[in-house]
Chain A
Amino acid sequence: MKTIESDIVIIGSGITAALMAARLSETTKRRITVIEAGKPTTPLAERTKARARYMAYGESPWKQDHLDDQNAYGTTWGFSPSMTVGGLAMHWGGVSPRYSPEDFRLKTLYGVGDDWPFTYEELDPFYQEAEERMGVAGEQGPVALDPRGKPYPLPPLPVNYNLKQLQGFATQAGVAMWSTPSAKLSVARDGRSQCQRCDTCYPVCPSGAKYSPDFTWDALVRDNRITLVTETLVRRLIADPTTGAIVRATGNRTDASGEEVTITATTFVLAAGFAWSPHLLLLSRDAAFPNGLANRSGLVGKYLAGHRNVNAYLDLPMELYPGINVQHSLVSKQFMRVPRSGRYLRHDLRLWESSVGREPRLRDANGATLFGDALLADWRTRAKGATARIRAYYDVIPDRESKLTLDAGHVNRFGDPMPTMDFRDAPESAAVKPWQEEQIASLFRRMAKAGNGTILKMENSANDLGQEHPTGGCRMGDDPTQSVVNKWGRAHDHENLWVAGAPTQPSASCCNGTLTFVANGLRTASAIASA
């Protein structure tokens, strides 16, 4: 049996864990050990080649980035088999908006969901820190819509030629839009290059301009500031039945040996994301804690949250050139700050260039096959004009029974039941869903009309399994009967157990969530350091 001793043990090595570890290594003298079930994946030096094969064939650029038998069911979001150093954020898109202040006060302002146990203003310095550590390039939006304590650390990615035209269209339609904040370097920094518009931010940035957690891990390991233990799956946390303190973690190597591993520490930090954090707490049930750890409230695994989207392609009377910077977009927070009256709808708005409808085709409208010169002539005609993609994420208030449970029908190699998720809207969300989607569709139609354009097609994500940018499962709050952790991420039931990032969030807003997950994690790290 292998034994590991440390002061602080962080379980999971995703983006939240990485930046928490960096902060903790600067603010405490305690030994920090990070436990990761998977292995390191494709290093930066190999990403150019990996990208080329992805572009040519659709191959995954990320080698050994998952454990085949470790999978959550019931969601297509979050790719739960991802088990690698750096986690899912090895192939995130780098889009880094903040939530809006309203997200933290939904109950007070709108009478839906729950308030967070702290405000946007309290999170602002940790947002800033997350942006600094990752290198977020952003443009200050209108202050009323986009409040922040300090300027973005990096100048925005350019509003390129295509986006400039689209910005004019949005303005004409009465919507203020600006350069989407992104963890992609607009100027070279810390040995990472400036963005080179490779247009494969998701799934792989070959230049290192987009932040990925391995950059932080590599630096921390190189400088001996942490110990990173890979290929080790934590399967149980063991709590003292009297005091509730976590005394050890146990698990197994995920290599061929399957060797048993015991980890002791004074502080345990669960930073394994929305799926695996509640999963481990539920797995850790024993005689003293028959419902799992940290589960006095019965809310471990509950209140899974996320958002859905409405997406449309617009044909606009302007000339765009698809491919200038495909993954960069304009963003608006105009619809995240809404009046308190009326039915509840909040959503973000993103606008991209698109090649939809501009591609070559094999047959013309009469069904004649197009080859060679005829195909090129037809393509040239189709390529003229402009397609824009517009998408709104709208938030979904989670039901208490939006939940993760242990599924005995799916087990890993060690016989542990895997998680199954069942996302459910709270009644106040379910009641307005069709109306919300129609409101967004109407907005798109109005915008198209204002720009003298037409809707090419419109779709929504209602049939996706699960919800996007998922959070929850270990929600935070001041009341131990209504939450799993306190507002700092500390488990109500176990003084030396902390849960960090996405799983602690009471809601998931209506925009990409990673920056907020990290900011929350950094806030938790600040509390751990001073505990």
Chain B
Amino acid sequence: MHDTPQAAGRRSFLKLAGALAVTTAAGCAVESRVPVATTGSTNDRDTGFDRSLLNAVAAVVLPSELGVKGVDTAVDAFVTWADGYDPVAEEMHGYGYADIRYLPADPAPAWRAQLAGLELLARRSLRKSFAELTVETRQGLLAAALKGAPDDRLPSPIDAPHIALALLSHWASSPDAWDLALGVKVQTGNCRVLGDANAKPLPITGLRA
């Protein structure tokens, strides 16, 4: 079941959603590497996201296999990660680098604006909150919003041009997500016992991540 009965209206709605979301992100994704001293603090920036809207996005972009608890855990982890970001901290440099580089400015304001944009669009066009739309409608909106996003592989979350992609990428880069895809317990990226490396990884059982 769709929320909007008129296909033409829906097409316009999706087009608008795409334009709104991607340009918002692109405008705010700072690429310049400004030499600012790293304090290691989170500064005085705003943190957090509208959780009901973020949950509504998560329900679309994350696998249902995670279950309600798993999705909630993934969203919690994303919010904690985004809140902990230290804008323009020094980027890792080493082999292949000739100079000092800095991480981008805080992407979270753009991501918050995208959430607000989705909500505004839903209310104006469909007279419902984004969170009240069906999964299919939300899916269509987010797919439109991600037109132009890289498609071969997911970007690093910090470079994601849209919050939906940031959330998805953040989850997909986790050891549990990889295990879910592989069907075995590898726990890539986690420190592990050396001797266990010799054995074929064991299959995972039940729902994970």
Interface positions of A (Cβ within 8 A of B): 53-61, 63, 66, 68, 71, 73, 75-77, 79-81, 88, 91, 157-161, 164, 186, 194-199, 202-203, 206-207, 321-326, 359-363, 367, 369, 371-373, 375-376, 379-380, 383, 464-465, 468
Contacts and interface: CB of A to CB of B under 8 A. Distances in A.
Nearest to B188: A323
B89 A160 contact: no
A101 to B, nearest CB: 27
B143 A186 contact: no
Contact of B95 (A77, A164, A360): A77
A196 B194 contact: yes
Contacts of B183: 380
A206 B190 CA distance: 11
Given A79-B94, A371-B139, 12 more contacts: A54-B92, A57-B86, A59-B90, A60-B89, A75-B98, A76-B97, A157-B194, A159-B198, A323-B187, A362-B146, A371-B168, A372-B61
A414 B60 CA distance: 58
What are the 4 tightest A-B residue pairs by CB atom distance, in nearest-first order?
A323-B188, A160-B197, A363-B151, A369-B143
Contacts of A59: 86, 89-92, 103
Interface of B: 35, 38, 60-65, 81, 84-86, 89-100, 103, 139, 142-143, 146, 149-154, 156, 158, 165, 168, 172, 175, 177-178, 180-184, 186-195, 197-201
B44 to A, nearest CB: 19
Which one of A57, A59, A157, A195 has the highest number of Cβ atoms from chain B below 10 Å of its Cβ? A57
B197 A197 contact: yes
Nearest to B35: A68
Contacts of A54: 92
B156 A81 contact: no
Dominant SS among interface residues on chain B: loop
Contact of A186 (B60, B103, B172, B194): B194
B129 to A, nearest CB: 20
Residue of B99, B139, B181, B190 contacting most chain A CB atoms (<10 Å): B181
A196 B100 contact: no
Given A199-B189, A323-B188, A66 B98 contact: no
B142 A371 contact: yes
A323 B186 contact: yes
Contacts of B103: 57-59
A372 B103 CA distance: 29
B194 to A, nearest CB: 5
Contacts of B85: 57
Contacts of B97: 76, 79
Contact of B194 (A161, A197, A367, A376): A197
A268 B142 CA distance: 65
Contacts of B150: 362
B168 A203 contact: no
Contacts of A379: 172, 181
A361 B96 CA distance: 27
Contacts of A76: 95-98
